[in-house]
Each structure stands twice: as C-alpha cells, then as structure tokens.
Amino acid sequence: MPRVDPTQLLKGVLDLAVLAVLRDDDGYGYDILRRLRAAGLEDVGDASVYGTLRRLFNSGLLTSYVVPSDEGPHRKYYALNVAGREELQRSGKVWQGFALIMDDLLRERGTA
C-alpha cells in the first residue's frame, strides 16, 4: 500500500466527482455509481456514493425527481440545481489549483 491511499483521496473529492458526473446529465444512484467507475474511480464504494447523494441533496445542491419505470424499480433521479452548479465551479477550481501544485511538485522532484 503506497503512502497515498486512493480511497483516502477519494473521500476528499467524492462530492466534487459526483457533482461533475451530474453536470451534463441527470442520473439515479446506480447510474451515477457506474459513471464514476467508468471514469476510472473503480474503488468508489456503493454506500459512499449513495450517502454523498443524500448529503448533497440535503445541503441543497441537488434536486431530485422520481421516474416511474415499466420494468424494474422506480428511479430517483438527481439533478444539479443552480447552487449545485456554483458549487461545482467553486470546488472544481479548488481542486484544479491543488492538482496543479501537486503536479508541479512532482515534476520538480520526481523527474529531477
């Protein structure tokens, strides 16, 4: 196990990741989980995504609506609202700034 544990990193950015995969398309819980995994976050926990969605919803960043389905269960879709989009921008900038710094650090030291 490297000193940097991906699951620990994930905890810090899961909110941002979830907001990001909802930027273009609304999605329901399992769908969002799939998008995150497809994007490469394979270790993301089922319950973590589920809980994160509840928390983002409770803090007013998401809206939700239920889509009945003929086959299978009804699905609760989540969508970014205005506050959610603002949060995505703000947090996204924080992350990009952070990532740039880390990149620089690694480039100077790691490749030297």
- Nearer residue to another protein within complex by CB, 59 or 89: 59
Q: Closer CB to another protein, residue 44 or residue 88?
A: 44
Q: What are the residues binding another protein (CB under 8 A)?
A: 14, 29-30, 45-52, 54-55, 58, 72-76
Q: In angstroms, rounded to a whole number, what is the distance separating the alpha carbons of residues 111 and 36?
A: 30
Shortest distance, CB of residue 59 to another protein, whole angstroms? 8
CB of 18 to another protein, least distance (A): 10
| Nearest distance, CB of residue 107 and another protein, angstroms | 33
Q: Which is nearer to another protein, 45 or 92 (CB)?
A: 45
- Rounded-to-integer distance, Cα 59 and Cα 42, Å: 26
Instruction: Supply the minimum distance, in Å, between the C-beta of residue 89 and another protein.
Output: 21
Long-range contacts of 27-34 (CB under 8 A, 24+ apart): 27/77, 27/78, 28/67, 28/75, 28/76, 28/77, 28/78, 29/53, 29/76, 29/78, 31/75, 32/78
